Structure 1
Amino acid sequence: MASGLSVDLSTTLGADEIGVLFAYFLLGVATCQVYIYYSRFPDDSVKLKTLVAIVWLAEFGRIVCIGSGLFTYTIFNYGRPETVVGPLPKALDIAILIGGIPIICVQGFFLFRIYAFSKRLLVPVFICVVTSMRCISGTALMVTSLRMKSLVEFEVQWGWLFTAFWSFGVVSDVGLTVALVALFLRQRPSGQKRTVALLDKLILWTLETGMLTSVTMISEVIFFHTMKNNFIWAAPFTLHTLLYSNSLLASLNSRATLRAMNEVSLPSLHLTAALANGVQLTPDTAGIMEQSSKISQV
């Protein structure tokens, strides 16, 4: 935004309000998914339950900070539109910092799934490095914003840092999506008919969630560089961590559907009972059971 222009609240504060409204809606969706998760999967490991709790608490804290920032703009600074392009409220600085927690947790979860499924380190290590660079650039954004005197000047001076943050995010998201889809496709030719249907559903869900987060960040970059006179980019920027959190929760909750499909093609519950009773499985049956278990847990 050029410093000589008057402040247009519809494309500055208005964009922020739209982002905050949708963010609260997505937090509600995430909260419902958390309730469903704890109700549906009481036997999950403590680590996985803790991960879900950390993600939700971080999102809740972030949304509280974002709401506090909007309250500062609209109530405390009412009648002073110039404050919209001034220093950020401290609550928004905290929100930027907290926003990194769900991203790290969600991407770490999917990286572990890739490694558990493939038993190879190359792709997880590469994505981990890219994710680390994204976290570093996000932390740098937060630190530099603490000394910011004008959002306009901050955009000019540190715009490249925004671009780096979003670029690393797109690379990591696309990398995760491609890696997971490649792993599923590799299993597809040797699968039975219903197993192939299960894999196809996993591929579709992976593409949907991966594309959603990637497209959101790409839109932030495009808005940031093509619309210099407004803050339209702030709306998707407010939402993108919640998209990660909801993708994680949707992945966990979808296991009920996947396991139901899996049990149609393989009576794994009966096999588990047989194992508990000491019945010896053949190598072929054990291999099929292990593969189906991996697929249903990804």
Structure 2
Amino acid sequence: MSSGVFNVDLGTTIGALQIGSLFAIFLFGIVTLQAYSYYDAFPKDRWTYKTLVAVVWVLEAGHTAGVSYEVYHASITLYGKPNELVKFEALGAVTTIGGLITFISFFALRLYRVLPKPYKYIGVACFTLSFIRCVASIFMTVQSVAARNIVRYNTQWRWLIFSIFAVGAAIDIAIAASMLWYLMKQRGKGLLRITTVIDRLIGFTIRTGLLTSISAVALLICLLTMPNNLIWLALYTFLAKLYSNSLYSA
């Protein structure tokens, strides 16, 4: 793999990115529908919530544009030139957007507000780690845009890429597990009506937290076991949208 020239398996590189981009665009459509439904159903909601929904949608639009451009560049602009697939600047740029989306998702804050002491500080820890991950994502964007080829970039910064995704997976699992633990603990303490509400909250927590946790862990596994292809990057193209879907569902 010297000089950035290597044999390319199109199925696990461009093909993987195309499949990932299809999921990303599909999820962006759901995000758009969720945003429209929110503004239509809650026209008098607090301006802070309206702003949050708008900011997330704009970030997702930029994220989708970056992913789509990279797929077009790889499959059309560089058609017939697989050995020139040595940089993915647009995907590097959207790393910051993904970090911002996961950071402004308020699931860690929800833990702080819902859980009693001392368990509520799990939310503080998750929020702090989310902020650190966001800063690291910005740093990775700068490095990926400046890198001359993805092979050297992965070799030099693989430890940080792994750390970012590992922290993300740990945060998702901690948030989902903490909420489920608390709700299950409260389930048997109330009347039947309250228990029914708690059961609905448990189902909601599983729907919103389990999918992002599984996806983050799957990405981490792919990065560890298949570092020389782009399957892990294909998963990353739509991971941020799962957070947005979960946020809009809250």
Which is higher, the Rg of structure 1 or of structure 2? Answer: 1
Q: Which secondary structure state, in structure 1, belongs to the residue aligned with residue 157 of structure 2?
A: helix
Supply the distance in 1 between the matched residues of 2:189 and 2:217 (Cα, whole angstroms). 36
Cα 1:247–1:65 shift into 2, 3 Å:
same
State the SS of the aligned residue for 2:189.
coil
User: How far off is 1:4 after superposition?
Assistant: 7.2
Provide Cα deviations, 1:191-217, integer angstroms capped at 9, x if missing partner.
221221111121122123222111111
Shift of 1:247: 0.5
1:80 aligned onto 2:54: no
- Kindly provide the amino acid, as one letter, of the partner of residue 149 in structure 2: S
Q: In structure 2, what is the Cα distance between the partners aligned to 1:161 and 1:225?
A: 13
- 1:160 aligned to 2:126? no
Percent of aligned pairs with the same amino acid: 35
Amino acid of the structure 2 residue aligned with 1:131 = S
Q: Counterparts of 1:47-62 in structure 2 under 5 Å?
A: 47-62=48-63
> 1:130–1:171: 8 Å Cα contact kept in structure 2?
no
- Please identify runs of 4+ aligned residues in structure 1 that moved more than 3 A: 1-5, 118-121
CA distance 1:168–1:228, change in 2 (3 Å): closer
Q: Which amino acid aligns with 1:31?
A: T
Aligned residues: 247
Q: 2: CA distance between counterparts of 1:55 and 1:16?
A: 23
The Cα shift of 1:188 comes to: 2.1
For the 8 Å contact 2:5–2:84, the answer to whether it is kept is no
Asked if 1:111 corresponds to 2:111, the answer is no
C-alpha displacement of 1:5: 4.7
Amino acid corresponding to residue 167 of structure 1 in structure 2:
A
Q: How many Å separate the matches in 1 of 2:115 and 2:232?
A: 37
Show CA shifts across 1:80-139 (max 9, x none): 11122x1223x3232111122211111xx2233223323645222111122122223222
Aligned pairs (5 A) from 1:60-209: 60-84=61-85, 86-89=86-89, 91-106=90-105, 109-118=106-115, 120=117, 121-209=120-208
Question: SS of the counterpart of 1:191?
Answer: coil
- 2:231 alignment partner, SS class: coil
Q: Secondary structure at the match of 2:202?
A: helix
Distance 2:190 2:116 in 1: 19
User: For residues 189 and 46 of structure 2, what CA distance do their matches in structure 1 show?
Assistant: 30
Letter in 2 for 1:118: L
The corresponding residue for 2:239 is 240
Counterpart for residue 15 of structure 2: 14
**Could you tell me the TM-score, scaled by structure 1's length?**
0.77
Are 2:242 and 1:230 aligned?
no
Contact map agreement 2:63 2:97 (CA 8 A) in 1: yes
Report how far residue 18 of structure 1 moved.
0.5
Q: Deviations over 1:250-294 (max 9, x none)?
A: 12xxxxxxxxxxxxxxxxxxxxxxxxxxxxxxxxxxxxxxxxxxx
Task: Write the letter of the residue equivalent to 2:113.
Answer: A
How far is the alpha carbon of 1:179 from its aligned partner? 2.4
Distance 2:171 2:129 in 1: 6
Does structure 1 conserve the Cα–Cα contact (< 8 Å) formed by 2:102 and 2:240? yes
Q: CA deviation at 1:28?
A: 0.5
Asked whether 1:28 is paired with 2:25, we answer no
* RMSD between aligned residues: 1.9
Paired with 1:101 and 1:77, the residues of 2 have a C-alpha distance of 30
CA contact 1:137–1:164 (8 Å) conserved in 2: no
Alpha-carbon distance in structure 2 between the residues aligned to 1:208 and 1:43: 27
